[in-house]
Amino acid sequence: MHIEKTFAVAASVDRVWAFITSPDQVGPCMPGCQHVEITGPGTYQAVISVKIGPIKTTFNFTIETVEERPPEFAVFSVKGEEGGSSSRVTAENLLTLKAIDNGNTEVTYASNVTIVGRLGKFAGGIMQKMAEHMSEQFITAFRERVETEQATNADEPAGTPIGSPGLLAALARFLRNLAAPILNLFGRDRSP
């Protein structure tokens, strides 16, 4: 399954990159994200709960930074396993940031996702619709948090990082770039 989204954020490329690369910032934007942890250089783990139709489950994801060109481009490899190994998810995710008019940033992410196991049967139209819904939830939360942070820090010089770069950057980008689309695939609902 291929997922691709492009959206604008009212913040500079440097601010968006700093936000995306900070798990503390981007994690709350991801529907179902329960936990994010740095496990090594460029390697992260995330626990994400999802709901697909009547099925509620939790996935343990390992994210690895494959390539990074701050503050404009990153590639992540993601592998996830449902408890009990019932379903597996693999994905390659690309993230691109581009400066556009008035100091805003265009964010583009693309994910090629493969799902096997019991949840694989939901592939196709149903999964694509769920992915679209979850992507929109993520984009709304992401944009709101970045733009609120941008307004709060308006007195700071442009390019001042919001979060810490480096390893955290890869995790946050992964979570934003892939986990959100994967969650979108599984139709995680934010309501209790």
Per-residue pLDDT of 108-166, as tens digits, reads 999 998 888 888 777 667 777 877 888 899 999 999 999 997 777 665 544 434 443 44
- Domains, the chain, ordered by start: 2-186 (3.30.530.20)
- The DSSP element (H or E) to which 57 belongs, if any, is strand 55-69
Please tell me the pTM assigned to this model: 0.74
160 vs 190: CA distance, rounded Å: 32
173 vs 162: CA distance, rounded Å: 14
For the record, the structure tokens of 89 come out as: 């998810």
- Per-residue pLDDT at 179: 47
Residues 22-58: tens digit of each pLDDT: 776 777 888 899 998 888 877 888 899 988 777 888 9
